[in-house]
Structure 1
Amino acid sequence: MPTTLRVIVDQLVAPVPGAVGRYAEALTRALIETAPAECEVEGIVSSSLPSDYDRVLATLPGLSGLYKSSLARRELAAAWQFGVTTSPGGGMIHAPSLFAPLRRHDRTVGGEQVIVTVHDLLAWTHPESLTTTSVAWQKAMLKRARRHADAIVVPTHALAERLARIADFGDRIRVIGTAPRSGLRVPLGASAVAEELGLPSAYLVAEGTLEPRKGLVDLLQALGRSGVPDIPLVVIGPESYGDQHLATVAEEAGVAPGRVRAMEPATPGELAVVLAGAAAFVAPSRDEGDGTALIEAFALGTPVIHSDTPAYVEVAAEAGLSVPVGVGGGYVERLAAAVTAVLEQPDLAERLSIAGGDRANAFSWRDSAERVWQLHADL
């Protein structure tokens, strides 16, 4: 009888799968591909439409089956938050987030084990960026994870250190990195795609929102400084954040609104075209838990400029141009100098492109999946 690893893939049927959905999809695909002999992977989803089940099975070919909860997503999240429902069967359960059936169990009996994943600590560090309901849920689930999870996976050592300061997990925290999203490859006819997307001939690219911690406002202010090349900025993300609008913030920073454009590529292939065609990818965030965005830019050979937030420094390993955020002022000026250097020094841009491509080779979903299988085996 095969050993079954049951992965919670419910984020794939969420209204907005987001980064966690991409993570769940890529990791589960790799878990299926790397399954040891006599092992298989099953999915767990909340009660959903038949078309949602079909989509999960089509997205993750090779799943041995789907466990379908009788509760819809919202009800299941509430039930697991308060521990009022049993887990969907025993055995090994892997959750690509804190959305997991965390309850008391004995892993020495029947091989029961539950591993959860923590991608960020925004509920503690930047609660204003989340709804009050989300903050309460995340804090409650981490509390349950501290009591009942057999291991907690995080994407970086930087996040592991911060997590350890919030709650005592002993030796249960494991660092297993991420990799570029599935399908992130420049397609044939990339120039036609670029034209269809309306990309300028030369531009910078950044990813995120106008939320203060993301540093996009800092970047806009840097681009408005005297002496910085007059180059367009493409922002992968929404045009607005709360009552702030990208064009307005850009104009206030001294950047002509026409130089800045927000877009959300519809496919990984379109995103690859945007990233690969950029003169540089700028990651100005003041606080991040992982560096997947950097890895994706590295994989496409795009020169990377990033803040010195610990997760970025760890992931980049000197393959990008690091800009100190600092505790006082001066971050905007340092960003402006870094952008100017990369744009005006072709040799520097080329070195960053080569170094980033080499660094990208250190990350793969296959490696991540093999480490997940080993973690469950060790438990």
Structure 2
Amino acid sequence: MKVLLDLQYLNVATTGIKTYMMELAKAAIQNPHPEIEWIFSHDPDEQAKDNTHKSPKNKFQRLNYHLDYFRWKEFQLPDMIKKHKPDLLICPDFVSPAAKLPCKRMTVIHDAFFWEMPQNYPKWWRTYFLGLVRKGLKEPTEIVTTTEFSKKALIKHLKTEHPISVIYQTPKSLGTDRDSSILERYNIGSKAFFLHLGTFDKRKNLPILVNAFKEAKEKEKFDFKLVLAGGEGQSIQMNDFPIVENLVKELGLQDEVVLPGFVSDAEANALYENAYAYVFPSENEGFGIPVLEAMAAGVPVIHSDQPALVEVSKGAGLIAKTGSVTDLREKMILLAKDENLRNDLKKRGLERANDFGPGKFIKAFQELILSARP
């Protein structure tokens, strides 16, 4: 069975899709199957380093990227298929070519955000992108998604007869390096801190976390800091970083809330290693990779009651009501006071994280691939 994995999108991916693509490629290399031959459209490491289209500074640069992406999907990728003659094409970035292909397809649609949260995307771009998604589903395609929750959402919005399979992904491999200089640089090594690591997308509900932290400090003797690490949201509509930054100033929390921006894997390891707890108040997730990263690092987790997160954590996290400052505040206070609860969450989190290794991730793909044999 010859399988072509489309990795072109790695040249701009910065969030969970990048993790998905990189970990799938690495797992395929590290876990060979005698009946599967993998062909990568690009070298994953080299493609991820390509900065040609990253962080466009104007409309012309954004348009140039979209044209490049369209050329790849509709012309260059079909040409590669003609050259290599794979039995199966896997597109892990929502979009498969609209052209008729001589092979079967699997398309990974990670979540239903584009349908459920239209306010977070430019109208023209959302219309264009959803058009690409639907055109790529015209031919027989196996859709792959990340959770049972996402599957139900896609069935509702796509109204498709294509089969949809759930494959739990694996969190990002952060390696073993530790860069503890970040603790000294932001003066967070001497005080316990709550951590959120991820982009400042609006759906992450980070203003709610800041307000909950402020109220916890006012209600109790709450001698903690709050570290919000990660890059800005992916678009003007989605970016909450300026809002969070202004809120921190308005609440007088400049000395208590740390905004270090994007951090390296080595810095992320140091933050996870020293965090008192990880807090993830997101209002909508298809999976929730940071929850598993934190659990794997032995960090207790507080997360919202968003269904995908409840499904992934499976009782190993402390659940707070989505969008409620009061409930999130109380959960943070509870965890700060109850060391037995904290230790129990650490133990359950480590056990749950073991269910999401790269071996299980690729095995599920291998089984689905082999089931697609002619």
TM-score category (smaller protein): 0.7 to 0.9
Within the candidate set 346, 349, 354, 2:342 is matched to 349
For residue 227 of structure 2, what is the amino acid of its counterpart?
V
CA distance in 1, matches of 2:163, 2:122: 29
Within the candidate set 107, 111, 120, 1:120 is matched to 111
> Residue 280 in 1 paired to residue 273 in 2?
no
State the Cα deviation string for residues 7-49 of structure 1 (Å, max 9, x = none). 11112333x543322221111110122221153221114xxxx
The answer for the alignment partner of 2:174 in structure 1 is: 183
Within the candidate set 198, 219, 223, 1:227 is matched to 219
Structure 2 CA distance for partners of 1:18 and 1:156, relative to 1, 3 Å: same
Q: Secondary structure at the match of 1:88?
A: helix
CA distance in 2, matches of 1:99, 1:88: 16
CA distance in 1, matches of 2:311, 2:198: 20
Identity among equivalent pairs (%): 23
When structure 1 is superposed on structure 2, of 172-181 and 302-311 the one drifting more is 172-181
Query: 1:159 offset after TM fit, Å?
Result: 0.6
Query: 1:250 offset after TM fit, Å?
Result: 2.2
> Residue 99 in 1 paired to residue 98 in 2?
no
Q: Secondary structure at the match of 2:89?
A: strand
> Residue 247 in 1 paired to residue 240 in 2?
no
CA distance in 2, matches of 1:117, 1:373: 15
8 Å CA contact 2:170–2:356 kept in 1: the answer is: yes
CA distance in 1, matches of 2:165, 2:261: 32
| Structure that is richer in helix per residue | 2
The answer for the alignment partner of 1:368 in structure 2 is: 361
- Structure 2, unmatched stretches of 5+, are 51-63, 234-238
CA distance in 2, matches of 1:243, 1:181: 23
Greater relative CO (CA pairs within 8 A, separation 6+): 2
The answer for the alignment partner of 1:195 in structure 2 is: 184
> Residue 148 in 1 paired to residue 145 in 2?
no
CA distance in 1, matches of 2:9, 2:74: 20
8 Å CA contact 1:233–1:261 kept in 2: the answer is: yes
Query: 1:233 offset after TM fit, Å?
Result: 0.9
When structure 1 is superposed on structure 2, of 135-144 and 217-226 the one drifting more is 135-144
8 Å CA contact 2:180–2:267 kept in 1: the answer is: no
Structure 2 CA distance for partners of 1:57 and 1:4, relative to 1, 3 Å: farther
Aligned length in residues:
346
The answer for the alignment partner of 1:6 in structure 2 is: 4
CA distance in 2, matches of 1:243, 1:307: 20
Query: 1:334 offset after TM fit, Å?
Result: 0.4
> Residue 173 in 1 paired to residue 169 in 2?
no
Query: 1:200 offset after TM fit, Å?
Result: 3.5
Two-structure CA RMSD over aligned residues (Å): 2.9
CA distance in 1, matches of 2:206, 2:175: 23
Structure 2 CA distance for partners of 1:238 and 1:39, relative to 1, 3 Å: closer
Structure 2 CA distance for partners of 1:198 and 1:316, relative to 1, 3 Å: same
The answer for the alignment partner of 1:305 in structure 2 is: 302
Query: 1:142 offset after TM fit, Å?
Result: 2.6
Query: 1:323 offset after TM fit, Å?
Result: 1.0
The answer for the alignment partner of 2:327 in structure 1 is: 334
CA distance in 2, matches of 1:149, 1:276: 46
State the Cα deviation string for residues 295-337 of structure 1 (Å, max 9, x = none). 11110010100000000000010100011227xxxx1110000
The answer for the alignment partner of 2:53 in structure 1 is: none
For residue 141 of structure 1, what is the amino acid of its counterpart?
L
CA distance in 2, matches of 1:359, 1:168: 33
For residue 358 of structure 1, what is the amino acid of its counterpart?
E
Q: Secondary structure at the match of 1:361?
A: helix
The answer for the alignment partner of 1:204 in structure 2 is: 194
> Residue 320 in 1 paired to residue 310 in 2?
no
CA distance in 2, matches of 1:341, 1:258: 23
State the Cα deviation string for residues 173-213 of structure 1 (Å, max 9, x = none). 1111122212344x36x655633564333111113455442
Structure 2 CA distance for partners of 1:274 and 1:359, relative to 1, 3 Å: same
8 Å CA contact 1:224–1:255 kept in 2: the answer is: no
CA distance in 2, matches of 1:274, 1:359: 20
Structure 2 CA distance for partners of 1:175 and 1:85, relative to 1, 3 Å: closer
